[in-house]
């Protein structure tokens, strides 16, 4: 991370943009206080392909472990809802 004042940023703008393109974070300050933060548009992914594959496998394992409900399982309680036993 690089921190520069506004005047320096104005005079070195192209060089600062090149730093950002290379993945560097640049902060621009006014009177010592940060007013601008320049970040690269494309950052490294937060999650790796291996993590995605592991998560998908866990989801698939969970889906395999769930017994699908049959129409009879769902319909019987609904038929009884609101009926009085006489």
pLDDT tens string, the chain, 86 residues long: the values are 899 999 999 999 999 999 999 989 999 999 999 999 999 887 667 788 899 999 999 999 999 888 776 666 677 777 777 777 66
Q: In the chain, what are the domains?
A: 1-66 (3.40.1620.10)
Q: How far apart are CA 6 and CA 35, in angstroms?
A: 9
- What pLDDT is stored for residue 82 in this prediction? 73
pTM across the whole model: 0.48
- What pLDDT is stored for residue 71 in this prediction? 64
DSSP reduced 3-state for 19: helix
**27 beta partners:** 3, 37
Which phi-psi region, left, alpha or beta, contains residue 31 (left: φ > 0; alpha: ψ -120 to 50)?
Answer: left
Structure tokens at 66: 């769930």
């Amino acid at each position: 991370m690089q921190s520069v004042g506004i005047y320096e940023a104005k005079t070195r703008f192209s060089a600062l943009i090149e730093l950002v393109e290379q993945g560097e974070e640049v902060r621009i300050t006014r009177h010592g206080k940060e007013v601008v933060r320049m970040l690269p548009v494309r950052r490294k992914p937060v999650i790796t392909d291996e993590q995605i594959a592991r998560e998908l496998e866990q989801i698939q394992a969970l889906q395999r472990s769930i017994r699908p409900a049959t129409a009879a399982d769902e319909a019987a309680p609904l038929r009884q809802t609101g009926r009085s036993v006489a």
